[in-house]
Structure 1
Amino acid sequence: MAMKVETVSTETIRPSSPTKSNLKTFKISLLDQLAPPFYVPVVLFYSSAPSDINVSEKLKTSLSQTLSSFYPFCGRLKENASIDCSDQGALFVEARARFPLSRVLTDPDILGLQQFLPFPPYKLSSEEEVVLGVKVSFFECGGVGIGVCVSHKIADGCSVAQFLISWAEAGLGIGSSSGFGPRLDASMIFPPKVVNFPMPAGVISDEKLVTKRFRFNGKGLAQLKAEFPGLKPTRVEAVTALIWKTALEVAKIKPGGSGIYPPSAVTHIVNIRSRASPPLPEQTLGNLWQSAVAPLMDMDKQAPQLHDLMVLLRKSIRRMNGDFVRELREENRLAKACESLMSARKLASTSGVRFELYRFSSWTRFPFYEADFGWGRPAWVCTTSVPMKNVVILMGTGLEDEGIEAWVTLTEADMVKFEAYEALLQFVMPPSH
């Protein structure tokens, strides 16, 4: 069904307090340099906003106030090394959705969700483009959508969540009283280097891809965890193992697959803030993550077992400990930072013709649902479709049962088989429509 969002106005929002002259050049960290040149997209939908205030002006004012502390978000990236913080401003788009929010909440069009963002998030960013773009969409029922795109060169999912919390607090007039002001010292922890080689951070696919959402509620997750006796998996470990196994079952029956399971690997993005010793504050701005790589190379005709996949994943994530972060900070930090990214490429080159790589990123612990601008918590927080195959983003649901939404992107042919796999569907909530 067609759901059109019409742009009403576009303007530039600058910080309420000019950035000081000694802060005009913001060095990004080594880990920022190695981040993909895309944007981090997220959309927050609110059921209703007050009718007695100008919501648009309130959001602009509070955004301007927030940008005074998040001043790199107003700048422009320079040569993958720094951000020129001359208060060029963030993009602010206002739009009207000529339909009720309920149509999005009950039957979301995954591709159509991108129209709630200020621009396509997976276009290659350039030095002339904004670091932050915002789009506020007003629904005819009184609901509001707030879509943001932040350059991955300065922010990861955790940083975007912290920004949204700070913006919401500014809207409530309480500043950063709960400690959500940014820490801007990542480049001192991981100093930038000269990076003159391309990074395998994700390849835009030419194949026809499909992104679909698979929802796991508390009951389904409890049933799934029961499939791992004695292991006590986290909800992310359990869902990752299930999706990995399902994807391998699909890969086994691909044309030309000879009915055998191909070698494969899962990468999982790991937030290293809490794994450092001492831990880094969650408010540390930047790309404070590394990819854990779990390889499954020696395959035979027997089906991979859920518990084996989960154990492989757990071991790979646990390697991202305090010692790992310490080594990352030492003199060999460039080689260490590239280690996991390069290992996936090496696995693919040594495994023969068939090799399946599945890339996971979990946003389940990020506090998106705490972003209350004065009209309650979001009814739904989502991302959008990804133009890269075999990518899975895990989102929280904001509900007390701590459910998970798995946003899975596969080729169109693979998705037909994947979404019909009964061993997956027994744990997944049925579609709303």
Structure 2
Amino acid sequence: MDKPLEVEIKGTTEMIKPSSPTPDHLRNFNLSLLDQIVPVEYTAVVLFYTGNGDVNNAAKKSQRLKTSLSRTLSSFYPYAGRIKDHKTVECNDNGAVFVEAYADCCLSDILHKPDQKFLRKFLPTEIESPKAGTGPLLLVQATFFKCGGVALGNCLSHKMADGNTTGFFLTSWGANSRGSNKALIPLFIAASGLFPPDHSLAPYMDVIGSNFVTKRFVLYESKIAALRAKVSSANVPKPTRVEAVTALIWKCVTTAARANRGFPRVSQTSHSMNLRKMVVPPLPNYAAGNIIGDFLAQTKDKKLDLEDLVLKLRKGKEEFRKKGLQILLKNKSLTNPEELSNEVENEHKDFYMFSDISRFPAYEIDYGWGRPLWVSVPNYRHNMVMLVSTSDGLGLEALVTLCQEDMALFEHDPELLAFADYNPSALSVPNHLGFVSRL
């Protein structure tokens, strides 16, 4: 573009309160153990909508969002409160933050060549803000484009929600915005059930750095099928698409790190898992909060083999299913923050966090002007790989965050680029006719 894109904040930031006051007996909400042990930060997601070409109804759309958010907060009442003493949410109906913004460009300018760092302009706060543990728990920014498109940036305190809960909240909000009666009621039971809080635990911030860059790689359905065939073995004859893509990225980031810092280096990964179906009895998907655990996989091998990396991932997952929950409850840590800090700073070991949110129902979230054209997550500031679904539900977008030195090698890895397209336009999707525009 000839000039830099601008996002201007206009109007007054509003506090959106629940449409009905929280009853007295629900005013004190206990965090669960799993809520306590996640880092103090916001989960973030940005959804882009075409707006159906309606360029004159920004005020009407904004009011619709605020009214339906108010109704939604009556069910998700803790999100309108504030955390006190790292143990309890005071459900005082202070409200969620709603910011109205305007972009001096069209939606196509953003999606033609997406910039993960620029996506932070569509968020109402910094992901790493310590206010996630003391201030507003939910902040929303609705950004309106000159073409009538809308970007909806959501920041929800990680102390209150994992990816599953965030998706459920946004889906419920969308249903209320459409006037649908299908908005499910969340079930806040984690603290009173399997994961009671530990009042001795103290909060901690995530480990972040300043020399990190995030880049986007898209693996379409046909390339994933070829990759799965390549990495299959007698030990894992049918690798999942996530296992296959994870193994490919793991190999390529490790190769880059070893080239920059030399061998021998241990490469360790952490992978989030949804515990809702693992506990007994199983919990429904609308059980809200952080109900996740992490399994580890590592390699010390000098020669990296994709089939072997897939096997290590599968074994790590199976081991976690056998005894991971018991270890989590015993150690009271997803990944011990002290240990994580040591891993990040260990000059002989590289540590990568993987988060698969490809089942997040992002492309089903409709506020009354259709489903989103594109959904993404802004850049992080530590070694991180986020796996997000493509709009057709068949491919994966890998949002890879590495230090600049490692990224310079990783993004040119020929094995990676044999299966992944580097930052293609989000305006089109492949089909049997080739790439077809969606605007």
Normalising by structure 1, what TM-score? 0.90
Change (3 A) 1:346 1:43: closer
Once the two structures are superposed, the pairs formed by residues 22-37 of structure 1 within 5 Å of their partners are 22-37=25-40
* Residues 8 and 316 of structure 1: CA distance in aligned 2, closer, same or farther (over 3 Å): same
Corresponding residue for residue 411 of structure 1: 403
The more displaced of 19-28 and 48-57 is 48-57
Following the alignment from structure 1 to structure 2, what is the Cα–Cα distance between the partners of residues 417 and 121?
27
The 3 A distance-change label for structure 1 pair 217 and 110 is same
Q: 1:285 aligns with which of 280, 283, 288?
A: 288
Aligned equivalent of 1:192, options 197, 213, 228? 197
Deviation at 1:210, TM superposition (A): 0.7
Aligned partner of residue 312 in structure 2, secondary structure = helix
Q: What's the CA shift for 1:308?
A: 0.6
Does residue 295 of the first structure (1) align with residue 298 of the second (2)? yes
Which residue is 2:359 aligned to? Answer: 365
| Residues 1:13 and 1:339: Cα distance change in structure 2 (over 3 Å) | closer
Q: Distance in 2 between the 1:210 and 1:146 partners?
A: 23
Return closer, same or farther for 1:168/1:242 CA change in 2, 3 Å cut-off. same
Letter in 1 for 2:421: M
Residue equivalent to 1:267:
270
Is the contact between residue 156 and residue 288 of structure 1 (CA under 8 Å) also seen in structure 2?
yes
Q: Could you list the per-position Cα deviations for residues 75-117 of structure 1 after superposition, in whole angstroms to 9, with x for gaps in the alignment? A: 0111110111110000000011111101111111221110111
- Sequence identity (%): 40
Deviation at 1:196, TM superposition (A): 3.6
Tell me the distance in 2 between the aligned counterparts of 1:131 and 1:352. 33
The aligned residue for residue 414 of structure 2 is 422
Give matches, 1:205-354, under 5 Å.
205-206=209-210, 208-230=211-233, 231-255=237-261, 257=262, 260-297=263-300, 299-300=301-302, 303-321=303-321, 324-325=324-325, 327=326, 334-338=329-333, 340-341=335-336, 345=340, 348=343, 353-354=347-348
Match of 2:371 in 1: 377
Structure 1 residue 324 displacement after superposition:
4.1
Do structure 1's residue 87 and structure 2's residue 93 form an aligned pair? yes
Shift of 1:161: 0.5
1:142 to 116, 136, 148: 148
Alpha carbons 2:53, 2:147 under 8 Å: kept: no
- 5 Å-filtered alignment, 1:21-170, equals 21-49=24-52, 51=54, 54-125=60-131, 128-170=134-176
Matched residue, 2:380: 386
State the match for 1:182 in structure 2.
Answer: 186
Partner of 2:390: 397
CA contact 2:273–2:293 (8 Å) conserved in 1? yes
Output the amino acid matched with 2:46. Answer: V
Deviation at 1:202, TM superposition (A): 3.3
Instruction: Give the 3 Å change call, closer, same or farther, for CA 57–22 of structure 1 in structure 2.
Output: same
Q: Do the aligned partners of residues 120 and 348 (structure 1) sit closer, same or farther apart at CA in structure 2, a change above 3 Å counting? A: closer
Cα 1:348–1:322 change in 2 (3 A) is closer
Root mean square deviation of aligned Cα: 2.2
Change (3 A) 1:55 1:347: closer
Tell me if the contact between 1:33 and 1:195 (Cα under 8 Å) persists in the aligned partners.
no
TM-score (norm 2): 0.89
Contact 2:37 2:334 in 1 (8 A): no
Q: Given the alignment, which residue of 188, 194, 202 partners 2:206?
A: 202
| Inter-partner Cα distance in structure 1 for 2:341 and 2:43 | 27
Given that 1:49 and 1:55 are in contact with CA atoms closer than 8 Å, whether structure 2 keeps it comes out as no
Unaligned runs of 5+ in 2: 426-439
SS in 2 for 1:57: helix
**TM-superposition CA deviations, 1:273-312 (whole Å, max 9, x none):** 1222221111111111111011223x34xx2100111111
- Relative to structure 1, the CA distance from residue 128 to residue 228 in structure 2 (aligned partners, 3 Å threshold; closer, same or farther) is closer
Q: What residue identity is the alignment partner of 2:5?
A: M
For residues 236 and 138 of structure 1, do their structure 2 counterparts lie closer, same or farther at Cα, with a shift above 3 Å needed?
same
Q: Which amino acid aligns with 1:181?
A: I
Could you say if the C-alpha distance between residues 47 and 339 of structure 1 is closer, same or farther in structure 2, counting changes exceeding 3 Å?
Answer: closer
